[in-house]
Amino acid sequence: MGVALPPPVPRRWVRHAVPLAVFALLLLYLSARSLRGLSGCGSGARSCVPERPLPLQVRQESGPLEAPGREQPPCLSPQGLLGRLVGQFRASLNTEGDVQLSEYLAGWRELVKLLIPLGSIFAFATSEVSSKVTALEARVRGPEAAHYTTLAAMAAWERRAGVLEQQPLTSGSRTMLLLHRALRWSQLCLHRVATGTVGGPDAGTQCSDAYGTALAPHHPWLIRQAASLAFLAFPGRGQLLALACPGSREAEARAAVARVASTLEDVYKRTQGLLAERGLLQLA
């Protein structure tokens, strides 16, 4: 008598389940308890983020990013997604050299909207980021709101009140650090997509390389291998640009995404400096 074999797993189920399960591992970094500071980052921010390329360099890498004689694309208008994103993050950089938390979080809300349409590879990422944004918003709008106006004010009050010693894993400063690291990957990914050479590495490869720079140093071998597989499902450059700046020509979309990446880099650098000065880069 033969042994009955279990029915085969439907190929369709496997095709959808594997990328989701794999990328779920990748995003554990947002809730990890013992991540170290960014590899290669000193007390300043200059060594952590490549210098922003000059406009000439960008044009040499990817062809013209400007569209002479045309108005700003709708995606960068005050009503457009990228325009709102840039506006909120720019507003978070106050003139005192600090970061306004309310505007920073509003910028993240817009960034999540940009990532969501990119498909299932970002499903867990946007969910985790949104939960962190919500947690920090609760402090910004809660009973201690007066202490959560800026990054510096938050860090000073949490240290004074003993929050960083008594409950570091749920502190606003730690939540900010996790969002800060996620912002680094987003900035590098978008910058490389916007400035990549025609015929060069595809968007998946470039954003995978960005992962290797920003997050892989904090992940064990298994998650790094899972991530390399997950990025195989990343949208192509043309699809990503069309989602970011619909209805625009490629040169316009590249320029718009490059502007977003430039803004995120400025925010990242200032935040990195503030966190480093206060000894907060080792909180997670």
Reported as a single tens digit per residue, the pLDDT across 238-277 is 988 999 999 999 999 999 999 999 999 999 999 999 999 9
CA distance 112 to 129: 8
**C-alpha to C-alpha distance for 264 and 180, rounded to whole angstroms:** 10
- Mean pLDDT, residues 195-207 taken together: 86
* Domain chopping of the chain, boundaries: 74-277
- Report the C-alpha gap between 283 and 266 in whole angstroms: 22
- Beta carbons of 73 and 245 less than 8 angstroms apart: yes
Which backbone phi and psi does 141 adopt, to 5 degrees? -110, 0
Q: What CA–CA distance (Å, rounded) separates 90 from 264?
A: 9
pLDDT, tens only, 66-103: 444 457 899 999 999 999 999 999 999 999 999 999 99
Provide the residue type at 83 as one letter.
G
Indicate the pLDDT class of residue 278, thresholds 50, 70 and 90: very high
Q: Are 196 and 61 in contact (CB under 8 A)?
A: yes
Q: What is the pLDDT of residue 123?
A: 62
pLDDT-based confidence at 43, cuts 50/70/90?
very low
pLDDT in tens, 158-177: 999 999 999 999 999 999 99
- For the chain, the distance separating the N- and C-terminal CA atoms, rounded to the nearest angstrom, is 58
CB atoms within 10 A of CB 21: 12
At residue 100, what are phi and psi to the nearest 5 degrees?
Answer: -75, 120
Alpha helix (H) residue ranges in the chain: 11-26, 55-62, 81-92, 101-115, 123-140, 151-160, 163-166, 172-195, 203-214, 221-230, 237-244, 250-277
Q: Which two tokens stand for residue 72?
A: 């700003």
CATH number belonging to the domain at 74-277, selected among 1.10.565.10, 1.10.3520.10, 1.10.357.10, 1.10.287.110: 1.10.3520.10
User: Residue 190 pLDDT > 80, yes or no?
Assistant: yes
The answer to whether 105 and 129 have CB atoms below 8 angstroms apart is no
Global pTM exceeds 0.95: no
Q: How far is CA 279 from CA 173, 271, 273, in A?
A: 11, 12, 10
40-41-47 Cα angle (round to 5): 95
